Structure 1
Amino acid sequence: MNTDPRIPAREEIVLRYLLERRAAEDPDKVFAVFDNGPTWTRAELLGRVRSTAVALESLGVRQGDHVVCWLPNGPDVLRFWFAINYIGAVFVPINTAYRGGVLTHVLNNSDAEVLIGDAELLPRLDDIEDRGSIRRVVSVGGMGAPIDGIEVVPADNLESVVGEPTEPNIPIEPWHTQSIMYTSGTTGPSKGVLTSYMQAYASFGPETMPIMTAEDRFLINMPAFHAGGSTLLYAMLINGGSVAVVDRFSSDRFWRQIRETESTMVFLLGVMANFVESRPPSDDDADNPLTKVFIVPLLDDIAAFTRRFDVDVYTIYNMTELSAPIISDANPTQRGTCGKVRPGVEVRLVDHADCEVPIGEVGEIIVRADAPWALNHGYYKMPEATAKAWRNGWFHTGDTARRDADGNYYFADRLKDSIRRRGENISSMEVETEIMAYPHVREAAVVAVPSEVSEDEVMAVVAPVPGAEIDPVELIRFLEPRMAYYMIPRFIRTVEELPKTPTSKIQKNALRDWGVTPDTWDREVAGIKLAR
């Protein structure tokens, strides 16, 4: 029995007991609204989760098992996810874009014997020889083609399974693993982040995020295999609120979805917020139920966004391995901030030897929590990566930032994304922020490309707002008074769309691989000299 006051009771944090408590408190309160789909009350959700748990148990799923979930957003991913955790098994959501070698890696790493997948994705399993321990596949949305060596069970066939879920062999505890979330793996094989129920609670529970209330409805537009989708959805169960689940973010459908689902909160990546902001103004922009918006990273002009849409804007620093250690107040006025350290965690900025850097200097962000299990508990089957990340008792994020005298933090870069030109260290994030202030730019990414002299040159890849063209010369003149001369890009390439992951993160590794292409504009070839 847990007696540590830093860890909440099971009924406040562990899915099985929390869902039962919420359904008993107010069975008719709506928990989930699906875009162009059903609406589920708490009692209806519990009923579906229990029946799905019985079906999974009939396939041999037991407490502690790992179950891969390969589904897009919608009712199915919610009921299967919750049913997996209801049994006490581990939810392993994987990216719907996976195929080939990456798919082989995560299936092998997961140790799962059961995979629940969308019927349209399952043929990719036939394209790989090594599927790890997968022995059974539940095909959702259709029969699914036969897969050599694997039993394929249509999800519809499970509807006839009746009975009651078994009681867990041992109580499901806050420190038990709730999920394994795979990172993007941009610098190596994707790592499976071990996350506990306690970490989920610490991320957006009432102590961390009091602005999330029982009256709020959060629009979930990020996929369940992304922490921005699953963690925020679970947060609303913890906080007693509700969710609206859409298949993906769409700037064309965004305000319709907000209004029709009566959503009061939403999370937007910076590029998403830029899409929303760049749409033509309308007389009813402020006529919406939205009250609170998380934007990461912040837009250049938050005040204009808040006035136009009549919302409060917040920002955070977070990653799959953490629990939102840095959070801003409403409508921060410090340009580019990601907030201040919240209660319950410690944050330091350190050099390569883990020594703290002075205020104003850039260092790697390292984190530890006051409560046990409030951060990740390692990378599954990757002890070396776990030991490296957790050295000296602090979790090393691989991100860099600086802090001002008032305790505000400003994200600088990923360590691997840093640029060094002629002896100067350059933050790609800071350059991107200034480029994004140029009216004709919709999105931008800055990367290092090899210099013919030494070290790096700065390259910017930009996409224009609809109907606009980007003149590289005009962009350089715009940037000159806004940043140090050595930060101004030498190379500028204009594309219609930047390459992105399914979670809308810009794929900088692809941009670095492309390098300086024949259609890239070169400031030095153009003869433009910069004042020092």
Structure 2
Amino acid sequence: MQAGSGSAAGQRRGGSIWPQAAGRFPPADRILSTILTRQAAQYRDRTLFVFGETRWSFAETASIAAASAGRLTRAGIRAGDRVALMCSNRPEFLEIYLGCAWMGAVTVPINTALRGIQLSHILRNSTPKLLAIEACFMPAIETLESDVAPPDLVWTIGEDGALPGSTSPLPALGEAAPPAPVRPDDTVAILYTSGTTGPSKGVCCPQAQMFWWGVYSARALGIVEGDVLFTTLPLFHTNALNAFYQALLNGCTYVLEPKFSASGFWAAARRHQATVGYLLGAMAVMLLAQPPSANDTAHFVRVALGGGVPGQFHGPFLERFGVPLLDGYGSTETNFVFAGTIPSDRPGTMGYLAEGVEACIAGPDDEPLPDGEAGELLLRAGELLAFATGYFEMPDKTAEAWRNRWFHTGDRVVRDADGHYRFVDRMKDSIRRRGENVSSWEVEQVLLKHPAIAACAIYPLPSELGEDEVAAAIQLEAGHALEPIDVVRHCEGKMAYFAVPRFVRIVSEMPLTENGKIRKVALREAGRTPDTWDRDAAGYEPRR
């Protein structure tokens, strides 16, 4: 049995930056406006943010945050109001996020791929007062369920400007607003994470949690002042958003690219003289699949985040590109709570517990289990407000996840005797595909609306890239016929493209438990059966 706070990873890398950060920003100061104002005074003209031709210094970023807050205030947004933001990687995303954080409003970033039931749920649950949406994503609004409508105030982002209806173009920045009296425990963002037996849950991230994301992540990566942090990950997820805090807290430059390109990643890293990179899961595998080049090591990157990259790819990645991949583990509800050594001593695992965090491997009744035995990973923050505060407007789900003073991750994990942690599998019914969480429940709800489908089950099957692919088992209504490709076409436009099943299996009956529930474990264990249709093998690409 064990339940303790770990510092093995920090000790292995020698030195920790978090005491200095904690000292410079005592608990009351762990809010965006104070952090940004203080860092702007220290670093002034040093470049903080780069996107294409856009460059903001530390001082300019503080001014932009204040002006963005003024723009929101003039539009009638007040502290505590939710501002939904459906936008790809571009400066306007950060403008709006920083403005909300400055004046106490709550940003609700929305995955730009969401459609139909998923998008409807987020708007229904968060009840935003303003929707800021990139013009190219306006067609997603047409997929909303009949009982859901966008808020009265809609700003469109992009060169297309205002669109027909009640929308207006994003107003220009104007008069700045003074920092609002924001508290560290005030929610700065609601980030939706996929549901398991129900709809997605909105994770309430307090201002101070984002501070700790910056501290924990920078510590794990060994970030130092002057580093250039290079990410292609989407801002609507925790990873890219907290990388901004890493740069802000440590006097670094944050370089944001529009999206990941396997063929262009290293050229962009060279162009920006990046020193730290951010990769997840299959991205590293895709880079290795590119044709070898004499420029493979012609860059300045000394380390890259490699969470979810299968262990067998760490060695080849280091040998070819000269970059060690950092193992780690975190969640939107918690933080960067596990990190490996650099390079990893056991590639493809979780690493060691971060300093300032407690962990317990527990059995069904939350009883601690001994080292070497798999159980559910429970986590508890030792630092004030380092974790999320709950799920928005879901008190029952909050109480269930944070019961007995521990956050229940739903992940089955093993702790080795030396304090090293290994992920085994998910206890929850969710799927991780290409860095995106897929709610099987939400996909199943869409499938069950097809008149020919009597029952269905969504489950993961392994891909060639070492991650999950979405598989669907379909049982038809008596007297109905349906081809696998029709199942995929039914899903298109009603959900995120990454949630559309790749594998479809038409079955005569579902494997059931004694209580009549579908035994998804039996479907997973069966794997790719002869009657499993593969969308990729058929050459069919679903619409985005």
- The TM-score range, normalised by the shorter chain, is 0.7 to 0.9
**Aligned 8 A contact 2:232 2:259 in 1:** yes
1:331 lines up with 2:358 in the alignment: no
1:266 to 266, 277, 297: 277
Q: In structure 2, what is the Cα distance between the partners aligned to 1:375 and 1:508?
A: 31
Which structure's relative contact order is higher, taking Cα pairs within 8 Å and 6+ residues apart? 2
1:13 lines up with 2:30 in the alignment: yes
Root mean square deviation of aligned Cα:
3.3
1:152 lines up with 2:170 in the alignment: no
1:412 lines up with 2:424 in the alignment: yes
Structure 2 length-normalised TM = 0.74
2:479 match: none
Q: What is the total number of aligned residue pairs between the two structures? A: 441
Structure 1 residue runs of 5 or longer lacking an equivalent are: 419-427, 433-444, 448-455, 466-498, 522-532
**Aligned 8 A contact 2:273 2:300 in 1:** yes
Would the alpha carbon gap of residues 190 and 464 (structure 1) be closer, same or farther in structure 2, given more than 3 Å must change?
A: closer
Would the alpha carbon gap of residues 289 and 7 (structure 1) be closer, same or farther in structure 2, given more than 3 Å must change?
A: closer
Would the alpha carbon gap of residues 280 and 133 (structure 1) be closer, same or farther in structure 2, given more than 3 Å must change?
A: closer
Structure 1 length-normalised TM = 0.76
Deviation at 1:189, TM superposition (A): 0.6
Q: In structure 2, what is the Cα distance between the partners aligned to 1:461 and 1:275?
A: 16
Deviation at 1:269, TM superposition (A): 1.1
Q: In structure 2, what is the Cα distance between the partners aligned to 1:397 and 1:411?
A: 12
Deviations 1:18-57 (A, max 9, x none): 11222221221011111x3322212222232222222211
2:319 to 304, 307, 319: 307
Q: In structure 2, what is the Cα distance between the partners aligned to 1:78 and 1:321?
A: 21
Q: In structure 1, what is the Cα distance between the partners aligned to 2:290 and 2:175?
A: 51
**Structure 1 segment 266-305 matched on structure 2, within 5 A:** 266-298=277-309, 299-305=311-317
Q: In structure 1, what is the Cα distance between the partners aligned to 2:179 and 2:101?
A: 12
Q: Structure 2: which amino acid aligns with 1:261?
A: H
**Structure 1 segment 361-510 matched on structure 2, within 5 A:** 361-416=373-428, 460-463=461-464
Structure 2 residue runs of 5 or longer lacking an equivalent are: 1-21, 441-456, 467-490, 507-522, 534-544
Q: In structure 1, what is the Cα distance between the partners aligned to 2:187 and 2:259?
A: 27
2:370 match: 358
Would the alpha carbon gap of residues 45 and 254 (structure 1) be closer, same or farther in structure 2, given more than 3 Å must change?
A: same
Q: Structure 1: which amino acid aligns with 2:363?
A: D
Q: After the TM superposition, which segments of 4 or more aligned residues of structure 1 sit over 6 Å from their partners?
A: 512-515
**Aligned 8 A contact 1:265 1:290 in 2:** yes
2:361 to 342, 349, 363: 349
Q: In structure 2, what is the Cα distance between the partners aligned to 1:513 and 1:381?
A: 37
Deviation at 1:164, TM superposition (A): 3.0
Q: Percent identity?
A: 32
User: Which secondary structure does the structure 1 equivalent of 2:168 belong to?
Assistant: strand
1:525 match: none
User: Which secondary structure does the structure 1 equivalent of 2:156 belong to?
Assistant: strand
Q: In structure 2, what is the Cα distance between the partners aligned to 1:304 and 1:105?
A: 42
**Aligned 8 A contact 2:374 2:413 in 1:** yes
Would the alpha carbon gap of residues 32 and 312 (structure 1) be closer, same or farther in structure 2, given more than 3 Å must change?
A: same
Q: In structure 2, what is the Cα distance between the partners aligned to 1:239 and 1:196?
A: 20
2:208 match: 198
**Aligned 8 A contact 2:102 2:179 in 1:** no
**Aligned 8 A contact 2:28 2:184 in 1:** no
Q: In structure 2, what is the Cα distance between the partners aligned to 1:265 and 1:145?
A: 39
1:123 match: 139
Q: Structure 1: which amino acid aligns with 2:301?
A: L
Q: In structure 2, what is the Cα distance between the partners aligned to 1:183 and 1:235?
A: 22
2:120 to 104, 117, 126: 104
User: Which secondary structure does the structure 1 equivalent of 2:60 belong to?
Assistant: helix
Deviation at 1:311, TM superposition (A): 2.2
Q: Structure 1: which amino acid aligns with 2:35?
A: L
